[in-house]
Structures are given as structure tokens and as C-alpha cells.
Amino acid sequence: MKKAKFSNIGKDKKVVLKNAGFLTIMQATNHLLPLMVLPYLSRILGPEKFGVIFFAQIFINYFMILSDYGFNFIGVRQIAQNRGNKKELNNIVSSIYNLRVLFGIIGFVILYIVVSSFSRFQEDKMIYFYTYGMVIGNILLPTWFFQGIEKMKYITILNFISKLGFTISIFFLINTQQDYIYVPLLNSVGYILSGIIGIGLLYKKYNISIFLVKWNRIKDQLKNGFSVFVSNLSITAYTSTNAFILGNMVSNDIMGYYGGAEKIIQPFKFLFSPIYNATYPYFSGLVVKNKSKALKEMKWGVFSSLIIGTILFVLILTFSEEIITLVLGKEFLSGLDIFYVFSILILITPVSYFLFNVVFLSLSLEKYSMKIYLFGGIFNIFILLGLIYFMGSPAIAAALSNVLTQVLNLVLASIVLINYLKKE
């Protein structure tokens, strides 16, 4: 019996490695292809128009979080636990889509009201509407389903094709600064096409039907995803909100420096998150089968994440000027101090990501994640206002507030985990 049990765990690990491979390709596609086009865009558009596009993406990110409502984690768990029950799978998929479409409609109404009511948004109003296409595509694309059944091949191919299409089209269609309005449109078209094909795969390959469900089902999903939604919204308080507040205080040039630094740091922060995402279904199952083994492997994961973060941080800090010049151009070196502050996130994000998105979710500790993120979000607002008041640079204040909040979150998460392990 023992031999069979560990044989099954070994088989599970093979599935994890396979899906980690596809998720790595997907992550590379999401970050490296945009990073490849960044040198071209930053030089064609310049800091000002680049800042406009970045600000629009920050604003639309609120609606992405609303439409996601935590299903990229909770939906994965529901699918993984019911993958052998076809009827329940249909109900889960339909209820998630029902709720996401509803949130998408609500989000667009809010967007229209905001853009129509405030002069800050009216000057480039079409940029915001074009960028909202990313929300529509995100609603349609069932990444959570394929991750839940641990079949990431199809969604990875779809994602690669759409991002590659966007990358190629940028070089052909964006030739002058005035073409900046087409950047979010091209991006949104790729998202929406991927989403449509993704739904087709659900129906054709897995025979999943999408239908209107009873309100009780939707209420259950609202309850299931609430903790993760609040957590994601709280995270936004020190990521998107900092940039959003900054965008209403400084020129588009400064937003360009801020956005450029953040876009370079982003791929390095989440370089190994595909592996973490692939281990989430594995750890969720292993906690049930062999909890002591799961906890032991989780500790190893935390330690490895710390080592990875430290190595990346030292490398990026050492070659920071060369990286900015290569990727964005010398014009963006004015944002070097912002880049230095953001680089600290490379040190802490791998550990934090593994703790919150793998360990806490696998151990069903997401209620603690919600509390930590909520406290962190409130903390961030107060410290941001204080730093803006005392510091000469609002951009540095926004970046530093982001970093300090994430350090606090990591410390609190570590305390929660240590206390949990003491009880085991």
C-alpha cells in the first residue's frame, strides 16, 4: 500500500512538472514578449504617451479584479476537486461565467460614468474604452478551468498566439507618437480572440455547456470567492492605487518613468510564479493525502523562493542603469531612483507569492490572507499620504509605500504560518 501511495504522489509530481512547463511558457509569453516590444514602444511614444497608456492600464486593472473575483484561485480549487463529476463541472463553469459576465457589465457602466464625468479621463477617453477590451477577453478566457484539470497546453498555445500577434502588429502599425491610441486596441483584440477560442475548447474538447444558473448558485460563488476578492482588492490598494493616485498628481512624463520601471521589474518578480501555480493543485491534493509531507515540502519551497529572490535582486541592482538604457532608452534614466526602489520587490515577491498563493490556499488559510491584505491596504494609504507629504518626489513616495506594505504583508504572513505550524 505504501509503495502504491508514493507511486501516485510521484505521478502527481510528473503532472506538476508538465504543467509547470506550460505555465512557464505562458508566463514568459505574458512578460517577455511585452518586454521585447517595450524598447520600440518607449522610443516611439516617449515618456508622455507611454504614461497615458500605463495610467489607462492601471485604471482598467480595477475592473479586471472585479471580473476575476478570486476565481483564478478559488475556481481552480473547485474544478480540481470535481474534475470527475461532469454535471458539477458544468454547474461550476456556468455559475462562474454568469457572475463574471455580470461583473463585466457593471464594470463597463462604471467606466462610462467615470470617463464621462471627469476631465482627467475625457482627453484620452477612447484609450480607456479600448483598454477595457482586456477585461472582456479576461472574462471569456477559462484559464482557471484548464489549470484546475491540470491541462495547460491549450491555454498556453492560445495565449502565445494572441501575444505574438500583438507583438508583431505593434511593429507594423505603431509608427508615430500619434498611433498610441491603437496600442490598447491591438492588445484587447488579442485578449478577446483568445477568450472566444478558449470557450470553444470548453465546448468541443471537454463537452462543457454554459447556461444560466439559479441565483443560489451565484450567491454560493459570491461567498466562495469573497475572501480572495477582498485580498486582491487590498493588493490593488498598494499597486494600482498608488499609481492611480500618482497619475492624478504628476505629469504623464513622470507616469512614464514610473510605469517603465514597474514594467521592467514585473517579469523578474514573477519569474518563477508558473512553477508555484503548477504546484498549487499538487499541494492542495497532498495536504489531504499526506499533510506532514506537504508541510515539509512547503518549507523547502519558502527557502528556495528566498534564495531565488536574493540572487535576482543582486543581479538587477548591479546592472540597473544598463537595463533601463537597453529596454527603455536613455530618456528614461530620469526614473532610475524609482527603479531602485521597485527592485526591492524582486527580493521579497517570490517568497510572498509562494506563501499566499500556494501555502495559504492549500491549507485553506485564505481568511488570513484577506485580513493581512486588508490591513496592508489600509496601512499603505496612510503611509503613502505621509511619504508624499514629507518627500519631495511623489513617484518615489508611491514606489516606497508599495515596497514597505509588501514587506509588512510578508512579515505578517510568516507569523501566521509559524503559529499554524506550532499547532501541527
pLDDT tens, residue order, the chain (424 aa): 444 443 444 566 666 667 667 767 776 677 677 777 888 888 898 888 888 898 898 899 889 988 888 787 788 888 888 887 888 889 999 999 999 999 999 999 999 999 998 887 888 889 999 999 999 999 998 888 887 887 777 778 877 887 888 888 888 889 998 899 999 999 899 889 888 988 988 888 888 888 888 888 888 888 888 877 887 777 776 677 888 888 888 888 888 899 889 888 888 887 777 777 777 777 877 777 778 887 888 888 888 888 888 988 999 999 999 999 988 888 888 889 999 999 999 988 888 888 888 888 888 787 888 889 889 888 988 999 999 988 888 999 999 999 999 999 999 999 998 888 877 6
- Name residue 167's amino acid: T
pLDDT at 4: 44
Residue 359 CA to residue 252 CA, distance in Å, equals 39
H-type alpha helices, 69-152: 71-81, 86-117, 119-122, 125-131, 133-140, 143-148
pLDDT at 11: 61
Residue 177 CA to residue 258 CA, distance in Å, equals 19
Residue 77 CA to residue 65 CA, distance in Å, equals 18
* Structural Rg of the chain based on CA atoms: 21
Residue 404 CA to residue 396 CA, distance in Å, equals 12
3-state SS, one letter per residue, for 4-20: HHHHHHHHHHHHHHHHH
pLDDT at 392: 81
Dig out the grid coordinates for 85 from the structure. 463529476
Give the torsion sign (CA, 12, 17, 22, 26): positive
- What would the DSSP string read from start to end of 295-358? HHHHHHHHHHHHHHHHHHHHHHHHTHHHHHHHHT-GGGGGGHHHHHHHHHHHHHHHHHHHIIII
Domain with 288 in it: 2-423
Residue 36 CA to residue 282 CA, distance in Å, equals 33
Q: How many domains does the chain have?
A: 1
pLDDT at 15: 67
For residue 373, CA distances in Å to 37, 399, 413 come to 33, 17, 10
First to last CA, the chain: 25
Sequence-ordered list of residues with C-beta below 8 angstroms from that of 379, at least 6 positions apart, any chain: 405, 408
Range 298-302, long-range pairs (CB < 8 A, 24+ positions) = 298/358, 298/359, 298/362, 301/276, 301/354, 301/358, 301/359, 302/351, 302/354, 302/355, 302/359
pLDDT at 337: 93
Sequence-ordered list of residues with C-beta below 8 angstroms from that of 239, at least 6 positions apart, any chain: 61, 402
Sequence-ordered list of residues with C-beta below 8 angstroms from that of 40, at least 6 positions apart, any chain: 170, 171, 174
pLDDT at 240: 78
Residue identified by cell 477590451 is: 133
CA 78 distance to own-chain centroid: 20
| 280 within 8 A of 362, measured Cβ to Cβ | yes
pLDDT at 371: 87
Number of continuous H segments (helices) and E segments (strands) in the chain: 19, 0
**Overall pTM > 0.85:** no
Q: Of 422, 286, 350, which Cα lies nearest the Cα of 9?
A: 286
